[in-house]
Amino acid sequence: MRKVVVVTGANSGIGLALCQRLLSQDDQIHLCLACRSMQRAEAARSALLSSHPSADVSIVQVDVGSIKSVLQGARILTQRYKQIDYLYLNAGIMPNPQVSLKAFVKGLFSRKVISMFATGEGLLTQKDSVTEDGLQKVFETNVFGHYILIKELEPLLCHNNNPSRLIWTSSSNARKSAFSLSDYQHRQGQESYSSSKYATDLLSVALNTHYNIKGLYSSVVCPGLVMTNLTYGILPSFFWTLIMPVMWLIRLFTNSFTISPHNGAEALVWLFNQKPESLDPLAKYHSCTSGLANSYVTPLKMDLDDTSSLSFYEKILDLEKQVRKRFVPGNC
Ligand SMILES: NC(=O)C1=CN([C@@H]2O[C@H](COP(=O)(O)OP(=O)(O)OC[C@H]3O[C@@H](n4cnc5c(N)ncnc54)[C@H](OP(=O)(O)O)[C@@H]3O)[C@@H](O)[C@H]2O)C=CC1
Ligand SMILES: CC(C)CCC[C@@H](C)[C@H]1CC[C@H]2C3=C(CC[C@]12C)[C@@]1(C)CCC(=O)C[C@@H]1CC3
């Protein structure tokens, strides 16, 4: 039986590089690109097929920023497959990012300079908005839409005889101080991205607590700093091109400047090959690239604990109940 691998946000950046790398490693898998734009998904499928002509690649429309679309996409996946072996929860956004030049210059002359480059801590703010579902857009896209997708696909993911895997693209930018349990959607602040990635980490831990017994395992990854549409939205592409030599130089001091989507996907591919029971649910698996451009994976303990992850999980369960009331069959 072919292994079924579903990847959200598969049409560009890290998601697309992951698909290329998975097919290079094993062209017997069935790959399903879960994307919000069918046109961009078709283009990605064509690109994958041109480098792997015999590959088995399908597409499904899923906009993780819309509950209606997630429910429709999950329905199609349920009709199409009996089991999903790997679900990569990779789609993500950072809308309207602003870099604080003041914080950057201050950070350059502080002892935290290396960690500033690795995590972007304190450098970025975003302007979030509210979706048609009445949820914060960054939270719904990066976290909650994916959570609903998992819940809808539960029967395809929970098999004791053959464990299935959830692999989230989190970030080193996930930060406890940007997240608050009383404002877990981050309605108030301006660090919705950091908050959503911390929420991702909490959710992954809670999912392991509840679902390992049902044969479902969750892991989180940090791909490092990667040049993708997301980073070109932070600073223009000509700027990144100009400072590329500086970035290679910075690589001598931090292994987090993976730069290419191929390198950024390192930990996502590595996890594909690991036995889930051997993984640490409290670790984040970082894609790293050395000064000599060698890629490797480093697990680092996350700044969280089981109690906070379970408290967050309760909030998510409450929100799910509220949202589902609006989407009873026949209403959507
Ligand atoms: N680049 C980096 O340095 C880092 C990235 N990450 C994370 O990596 C992941 C991939 O991002 P990256 O490859 O960098 O950036 P890209 O913008 O290239 O990729 C993001 C992908 O997510 C998709 N997406 C966005 N919103 C939705 C939605 N509502 N429904 C479905 N798909 C959606 C995009 O689709 P579309 O083309 O239609 O917009 C695109 O395919 C994200 O979760 C990001 O937070 C984490 C750490 C660092
Ligand atoms: C000389 C240059 C390298 C200066 C660039 C400064 C900043 C714009 C960047 C330094 C660290 C970067 C970073 C991210 C965005 C750009 C920086 C802040 C991310 C936050 C992008 C998205 C993530 O998920 C994590 C990245 C961490 C590092």
Per-residue model confidence as pLDDT tens digits over 10-62: 999 999 999 999 999 998 999 999 999 999 999 999 999 999 999 999 999 99
- CA-closest residue to ligand 1 atom 15: 230
Query: Closest Cα partner for 52 from 19, 75, 83?
Result: 19
C-alpha 12 – ligand 1 centre gap (Å): 7
Inter-helix orientation angle 38-51/13-25, to 10°: 30
Pairing label, strands 295-301, 283-289 = antiparallel
**Annotated catalytic residue 198:** no
Ligand 1, atom nearest to 15 Cα: 13
Instruction: State the average pLDDT over residues 312-322.
Output: 98
Residue 258's pLDDT is: 97
Average pLDDT over the chain reads: 96
Say which of 86, 193, 198, 313 is annotated catalytic.
Answer: 193
**Cβ contact 267:296 at 8 Å:** no
Query: Residue 39 burial (CB < 10 Å; 0-12/13-18/19+)?
Result: exposed
**Cβ contact 259:289 at 8 Å:** yes
Pairing label, strands 124-125, 98-99 = antiparallel
Residue 223 Cβ < 6 Å to ligand 1: yes
- For a ligand 1 pocket test, name from 18, 71, 93, 121 the mutation site with the most ligand atoms within 8 angstroms of its C-beta: 93
Per-residue model confidence as pLDDT tens digits over 210-233: 999 999 999 999 999 999 999 999
| Residue 289 pLDDT exceeds 60 | yes
Residue 332's pLDDT is: 46
Residue 90 Cβ < 6 Å to ligand 1: yes
- For a ligand 2 pocket test, name from 106, 124, 141 the mutation site with the most ligand atoms within 8 angstroms of its C-beta: 124
Whose atoms come closest to the Cα of 97: which ligand?
2
pTM score of the predicted model = 0.97
C-alpha 14 – ligand 1 centre gap (Å): 7
Task: Tell me how many helices (H) and strands (E) the chain has.
Answer: 15, 10
Query: Residue 80 burial (CB < 10 Å; 0-12/13-18/19+)?
Result: middle
C-alpha 123 – ligand 2 centre gap (Å): 8
146 vs 327, more confident: 146
With bands split at pLDDT 50, 70 and 90, how would you rate the model's confidence at 160?
confident
